[in-house]
Amino acid sequence: MSTTTTDLMQDEVKALARERGAVILAHNYQVPEIQDVADYVGDSLGLSREAAATDAEAIVFCGVHFMAETAAILSPEKTVLIPDLDAGCSLAASITAEQLREWKAANPGAVVVSYVNTTAEVKAETDYCCTSGNARGVIEAIPADKEILFLPDMYLGIWLERVTGRKLNIWLGECHVHAGIRPADIERWQADAPDAELLVHPECGCASQCMAFGNGRTHILSTEGMIDFAKSSPKQRFLVATETGILHRLSKEAPRKRFEAVSERAICKFMKMITLEKLRDSLRDWKHVVTVEPEVAERARGAIERMVAIS
């Protein structure tokens, strides 16, 4: 097999990471060449756990900004780098700390549960963080008589109400990528692929309707939940309703199975801002360092540690 430019740059990245004592963490939505060079690829929960546990001196976060911030809060003694500072998240941008303070003031005594897709300032106003991988466990850990403010993703919130039977006050935010996966996308695929299992991320605009299918072939899962499910399922064909970057990981982990995106449009431009070249430059030039104000980090840490502890 001939050596390509990608291979050469991946070798350069690995050598720089070794030299600099850095671990490379990558989200399941990253481009294949980044996933392939990472030390750990996973979902938001797995990446937070890995960031908290690593003994490397530095973490290069191939994901979006709130994920790098979370790593910086969990490991204040480590250097956290992100290869592109513009890798944001439209969902995290849908609520500010000021808006949350106003919402809390209007609902005194309520417990605040924030999805990990939020800024550090919002987390600092939060009681419990959660990810799609443990949101249900987090809600179930809160005493039944407590009112809950859930933010910022409304589709995840609606799904949580259904699976926990709890009434939640839900912030009306959404991820433009997942909200764009509509019930019609699923219906089309249901008809065209009657033999396939349907894997749906709870941020999707179609998630609640999918639950209503109740056909045993529909599974609402976090990105890592999808990987685990596909690996252990005896089924051969899977339709996937989330950002398309996950198809690379799925095909790698379960190579003899067939995976198809229900929507080819489900591409997160923020996740795709991280390129191999920017990762190389990040390690070489030690940029861009992600820091969180110590006072904000201190207040956010408790909510994140509760999230990491609950499965």
Judged by CB under 6 A, the stretch of 12-20, 33-41, 51-59, 130-138 that binds ligand 13P is 130-138
Both structure tokens of 53: 């546990």
Decide: is 263 part of the binding site for ligand 13P (CB under 6 A).
Answer: no
The single-letter DSSP state of residue 92 is G
By CB under 6 A, the residues from 258 to 287 that bind ligand SF4 are 268, 270-271
- Beta-carbon contacts of 11 under 8 Å, excluding residues fewer than 6 positions away, are none
Decide: is 43 part of the binding site for ligand 13P (CB under 6 A).
Answer: yes
CB 47 within 8 A of CB 276: no
Which C-beta is closer to ligand 13P: that of 10 or that of 63? 63
Decide: is 68 part of the binding site for ligand SF4 (CB under 6 A).
Answer: no
Site string (172-191) toward ligand 13P, x via CB under 6 A: ---x----------------
Q: If we measure between CA atoms, which residue out of 42, 50, 15, 14 comes closest to residue 26?
A: 42
Site string (151-180) toward ligand SF4, x via CB under 6 A: ------------------------x-xx--
- Facing residues of 79 across strands? 58
- Beta-carbon contacts of 139 under 8 Å, excluding residues fewer than 6 positions away, are 113, 130, 148, 150, 160, 164, 166, 168
Decide: is 223 part of the binding site for ligand 13P (CB under 6 A).
Answer: yes
Q: Minimal distance in Å, beta carbon 35 to ligand SF4?
A: 15
Both structure tokens of 34: 């980044």
Q: Minimal distance in Å, beta carbon 270 to ligand SF4?
A: 5
90 interacts with, out of ligand 13P, ligand SF4, none, CB within 5 to 8 A per kind: ligand SF4
Decide: is 119 part of the binding site for ligand 13P (CB under 6 A).
Answer: no
Which C-beta is closer to ligand SF4: that of 10 or that of 117? 117
Q: If we measure between CA atoms, which residue out of 93, 153, 158, 148 comes closest to residue 126?
A: 148
- Return the H-helix or E-strand segment holding 61: strand 58-62
- 228-241 core/surface letters (b: 16 or more CB in 10 A; e: else): ebbeeeeeeebbbb
- Beta-carbon contacts of 187 under 8 Å, excluding residues fewer than 6 positions away, are none
Q: What share of the chain is helix, strand, coil (3-state, %, to 5)?
A: 45, 15, 40
Q: If we measure between CA atoms, which residue out of 31, 152, 18 comes closest to residue 84?
A: 31
Site string (103-132) toward ligand SF4, x via CB under 6 A: --------------x---------------
Decide: is 62 part of the binding site for ligand SF4 (CB under 6 A).
Answer: no
Among 48, 118, 126, 131, binds ligand 13P (CB under 6 A): 131
Decide: is 82 part of the binding site for ligand SF4 (CB under 6 A).
Answer: no
132 interacts with, out of ligand 13P, ligand SF4, none, CB within 5 to 8 A per kind: ligand 13P
Decide: is 241 part of the binding site for ligand SF4 (CB under 6 A).
Answer: no
Q: Minimal distance in Å, beta carbon 90 to ligand 13P?
A: 10
- Sheet with 148-151: strands ordered across: 128-130, 111-115, 148-151, 169-170
Residues making contact with ligand 13P (CB under 6 A): 28, 43-45, 89, 117, 131-133, 175, 203, 222-223
Residues making contact with ligand SF4 (CB under 6 A): 64, 89-91, 117, 175, 177-178, 243, 268, 270-271
